[in-house]
Amino acid sequence: MNLLNRTIDGLANLRGCLMDRMNPAGAECELVRPTRPKQLTELTADQRERMAAFVAQRIDHARRTTPLTEDEWAAWEAGVRKCYELVGVPWPGVIVKVPSPVVGALAPPIAEGVVREIRNSKPGISLDSAVRSAVDAAGRSVSSVGDAPRVGEALSRAVRDVIDATRAGMVCPAFDQIPATPTHEESHSAVSRKIVRRCIREVFEPVLYAVPNVDGAIRGLLCAAVCAVSSARNWRVPLAGRGHVGFDVVWAFLRDACALDFGDETRESLRAIENAQSAECWWPFRDFVVVCDLPTEVHTETVDGRIRLHNADGPAVRWGDGWEIHAWHGTTVPRDLIENGWDTKRIMAERNAEVRRCAIERVGWHQFITTAGFRLIDQAPDPANPGQLLRLYKVPRRVLGYRARILLCVNATPERNGARRVYELSVPTTCRTALTAVAWSFDVPEQTYERLARAT
């Protein structure tokens, strides 16, 4: 499948998602097939030189934490309008801006439930009372996730906005099944495979590795946040926003840096999708559109050339209403794990093995092993670190969800204050002795490690 075919499939998938949300009658509409460009077979020296600058610009674009300007909001709206046009759905003309993804996820289904109740069951009920009750219930749900200190007020405003937008017509409920999307017909490749491979290697992958997976963290927490809301059956994950990194990065490079002519129709469609992804995330419906602004804080770390969410002292991502995502070395974790730390009992009670591992790392394996009473398999003097011991422990399956062994070592190089840091290494379960385990960590035979003058 060539690059342009992937893009056309992306348009088709967007069509399916929009139709699922906005066309309850399931009416079909034709997706206009973009005109195929002439084949691009070689990159010039100037185009190759533009790669680094293009990658840097895309990374800055994806990691931005300042609010959109009025002009940028206008561009976003124009892009979303075009997306509605692409799938043949009338533009609703109502945009509800929310300060965080959790408000955007909860407001539409809550509003739908309130409006339905008022119209069908209790025509005399107070709108204010119904909204307040629904928002309170949602607030309790969000609070159970542990990351919603000031969401209630913003959620209330958003629900009211949605209700005001839908007084004349019910909010369209989302279907359980997304309609099948059309497939593209086979055609001549627009770009040679050699160029596509190079762009993936030198444009797509560097951007992908440099942008933290905020979208994934958002989706995980939103699933937990809406599970207790009575109208959550109508909830759908948001469409991708600014932090999404896909193959659109490749065609954007070919379009902007290589001036590849995709044809007017294709160029307009691709630009529309790009503009629609310039906010954080958005939810299209038949009667309105909900959109979230960018976060106010994003904290990351770089490991092996990849950027991932991490903040050992507070939220990794924060939005304007106070909704937060906490992350430990790329794994989304509960707020109290970061802010307070967990004791051994709380760690062992955690069902998620990845979160459990993060909690142990925060405490430190040395302390956790001591308090949890892990079985010592073997210990031996470290021949490459005189005066220090190597300790090999068996980690019970209930701790990580799988069998594991941990080797505790002492750093051969003292810290500035003279102390020596104790650190832990995860080693194969086939390691039966401490010396075998430490030799494995250096990728040398045990006999070779025993003859080392000093480990570094």
Give me the DSSP letters along 333-383: E-HHHHHT---HHHHHH---HHHHHHHHHHH-HHHHHHHHTPEEEEEEE-T
What tokens appear for 342 in the block?
């967990």
Residue 338 pLDDT grade (very low, low, confident, very high; cuts 50, 70, 90): very high
pLDDT above 70: percentage of residues in the chain: 57
* CA-closest candidate to residue 187, choices 5, 419, 383: 5
Decide: 164 and 156 in contact? Cβ < 8 Å.
no
Query: Is the confidence at residue 399, as pLDDT, over 60?
Result: yes
Cα–Cα distance for residue pair 428/23, rounded to 1 Å: 54
Q: For residue 362, how many C-alpha atoms fall within 13 Å in the half-sphere facing its CB?
A: 27
| pTM, 2 dp | 0.65
Residue 415 pLDDT grade (very low, low, confident, very high; cuts 50, 70, 90): low
Which pLDDT belongs to residue 7?
A: 43
pLDDT averaged over the chain? 71
Relative to beta strand 404-410, strand 422-427 is: antiparallel
Name the more confident of 48 and 242: 48
Mean pLDDT, residues 388-395 taken together = 91
Query: Is the confidence at residue 178, as pLDDT, over 50?
Result: no
Kindly report the number of other CB atoms within 10 A of residue 441's CB atom. Answer: 15
pLDDT above 90: percentage of residues in the chain: 11
23 φ, ψ to 5°? -130, 80
* CA-closest candidate to residue 245, choices 280, 199, 197, 213: 213
Cα–Cα distance for residue pair 216/204, rounded to 1 Å: 18
Cα-Cα-Cα-Cα torsion 5, 10, 11, 12, nearest 10 degrees, comes to 90
Query: Which residues, other chains included, contact 178 with Cβ-Cβ below 8 Å and sequence gap of 6+?
Result: 16, 17, 20
What tokens appear for 110 in the block?
């809550």
Residue 144 pLDDT grade (very low, low, confident, very high; cuts 50, 70, 90): very low
Name the packing angle between helices 101-116 and 151-165 (round to 10°): 50
Which pLDDT belongs to residue 246?
A: 66
pLDDT tens digit sequence for 422-437? 777 889 999 999 999 9
What tokens appear for 382 in the block?
């470290």
pLDDT tens digit sequence for 79-133? 888 888 877 778 878 787 888 887 777 776 666 555 555 555 554 445 455 555 5
What tokens appear for 147 in the block?
């990351």
Helices (H), 117-213: 127-145, 151-165, 193-199, 205-210
Decide: 154 and 321 in contact? Cβ < 8 Å.
yes
Decide: 293 and 212 in contact? Cβ < 8 Å.
no
What tokens appear for 98 in the block?
């929310």
Query: Is the confidence at residue 36, as pLDDT, over 60?
Result: no
Query: Is the confidence at residue 314, as pLDDT, over 60?
Result: yes
* CA-closest candidate to residue 393, choices 362, 432, 439, 361: 432
Query: Is the confidence at residue 256, as pLDDT, over 70?
Result: yes
Sign of CA dihedral 371, 372, 373, 379: negative
